Amino acid sequence: MNRLFLYTSYNRLGRDADETDAEEIINMAGKASLADQQKQVQENIHTQLKTLCKGMDEILLPDTTSINESPESTLQRNTALSRSGLGLAVGRMSPPNKRPECIFSTDVPDTKPLKRTELSQRLKNYMGYTLELKPSQILHQEAGQGLFIDGQADVGAVIALYPGIIYSPAHYRYIPGYPRVDIHNPYLITRYDGTVINAQPWGPGGETREVWDVSSVTRRSGSTPIMQGNDKGPDRIWKMLSKPLQVTRVVSGGEVLERRNPLALAHFANHPAKGTVPNVMLCPYDFPLSEKDMRTYIPNVAFGSGEEVKMKRFGGFWFKSWGSSNGEADDVCVMKTLVLVATRALSDEEVLLNYRLSNSKRRPLWYAPVDEEEDRRRWS
């Protein structure tokens, strides 16, 4: 979180930031509490995504003019808007909106009939970069398609969004293939809070804006459990506790999502080869559902009714927490997502993410740990 605070705060100041600004941010990072750093990172990420969504609207909506600005003019405009300083420095942290209604209309608005490739190019003109898929430069058979940045992005920039269906710990048993969910699905990722995102149904995106319905996507993905081992002792107990649940009366309604979103490709980022280092890092982002104008560009839908169930973890299992919450309640209805943030300036290169695979299980032959100590902290 400290690194994300440094990177995204520096990025928010824009390319006019100098050494003095960097020193001020470092000084702030040393004084700010973890909670304050988390709030600032959320605000920094949200500001960037708001700019992305505004650009997508200007490109796609019929009643606006397409944008073909240079990256320099876009950066100058963003800098002018944000140069007033960081929220922690001047006390301008925006107060959270009160909990809104989390149900949205599923009417699909008209958009310009742009192909995804054309939309991607126009977004590059607006932001200075876009993403593309092509054969990975990593030399192992399982590398497959790689994620590449087309253009230039500064340190701290949001490079990609992780798309797909979001499962809270309360809904793990609905993940297709449960409990061996990862055997045939390499596109699962977990946040520190236990939230799992399944990007497999999203794939490479689509060519239109459409209603994305969780129940239909789940049925297409399949939900047949994969069980192994005998039925004696611990294996029998595990199978009883791990019995998958049927998808009935727990899925939320459909959401209108822009399947052409050129940045909704974070799940294609590869792990760096041995001797190389990652150039992006994961950042948890809690998208406030009160931001209805942005919703269609956030490539996720939540599995479940939308109500958060508090869970506690015991070993490999999550259980409902029946204790008192001390009267505390979330004021903002959010969707728990992930984005990739640049850890240095990027230019026309492959996007590489440290997978930080668990060291308690057999790792693939191609996996070369970036930092064993970091992996141990992640899985301790």
**Span 333-355, pLDDT tens digits:** 999 999 999 999 999 999 999 99
- 209-231 core/surface letters (b: 16 or more CB in 10 A; e: else): bbebbbeebbeeeeeebeeeeee
Going by pLDDT thresholds of 50, 70 and 90, the confidence category of residue 18 is confident
Listed range (224-228, 248-252, 298-302) with the worst mean pLDDT: 224-228
**Local confidence band at 216 (pLDDT 50, 70, 90 cut-offs):** low
Mean pLDDT calculated for residue range 297-322: 69
Q: Quick one: pLDDT at residue 14? A: 85
The pLDDT of residue 221 is 52
pLDDT at position 141 is: 78
Render pLDDT for 106-148 as a digit per residue (tens, 0 to 9). 577 789 999 999 999 999 999 999 999 999 999 887 888 999 9
Q: Which two tokens stand for residue 124?
A: 């590059």
- Is the Cα torsion angle 81, 336, 187, 118 positive or negative in sign? negative
| pLDDT in the model for residue 83 | 38
At 315 the pLDDT is 56
Question: For residues 225 and 339, which has the higher predicted lDDT (pLDDT)?
Answer: 339
Residues near 138 by Cβ (< 8 Å), separated by ≥ 6? 146, 270, 271, 272, 273, 350, 366
Q: pLDDT higher for 331 or 15?
A: 15
Other C-beta atoms within 10 Å of 177: how many? 19
Q: For position 248, what pLDDT does the model report?
A: 53
CA distance 257 to 254: 9
- State phi, psi for 151 to the nearest 5 degrees: 120, -160
Confidence of residue 321 (pLDDT cuts 50, 70, 90): low
pLDDT (0 to 100) of residue 244: 54
| Residue 242, burial from CB neighbour count under 10 angstroms (0-12, 13-18, 19+) | middle
212-231: average pLDDT: 56
Least confident of 5-19, 222-236, 278-292, 363-377: 222-236
Q: Please check the confidence at residue 47 and state whether its pLDDT lies above 50.
A: yes
Q: Where are the alpha helices (DSSP H) in 251-301?
A: none
Provide the phi-psi class of 34: left if phi over 0, else alpha when psi is between -120 and 50, else beta. Answer: alpha
**Alpha-carbon Rg for the chain in angstroms:** 21
- Per-residue DSSP letter, 71: H
Mean pLDDT of the chain: 80
CA nearest neighbour of 109 among 233, 292, 237: 292
Cα–Cα distance, 184 to 176 (Å, whole number) = 10
Instruction: Give pLDDT, residue 175.
Output: 92
More confident residue, 209 or 79: 209
Cα torsion at 322, 323, 329, 334 (round to 10°)? -50
Query: Which pLDDT band, with edges at 50, 70 and 90, does 16 fall under?
Result: confident
Q: Are 177 and 223 in contact (CB under 8 A)?
A: yes
Angle of the 34-60 helix axis to the 116-127 helix axis, nearest 10: 120
Give residue 20's Cα distance to chain centre. 31
Q: What is the mean pLDDT of residues 175-202?
A: 91
Contact assessment for residue 282 and residue 159, using Cβ atoms and an 8 Å cutoff: no
**Identity of the residue numbered 242:** S
Beta strands 196-198 and 129-135, pairing class: unpaired
pLDDT for residue 200: 95
User: Whole-model pTM?
Assistant: 0.80
Identify the H or E element spanning 49: helix 34-60
Q: In this predicted structure, which of 235-249, 323-337, 341-355 has the lowest mean pLDDT? A: 235-249
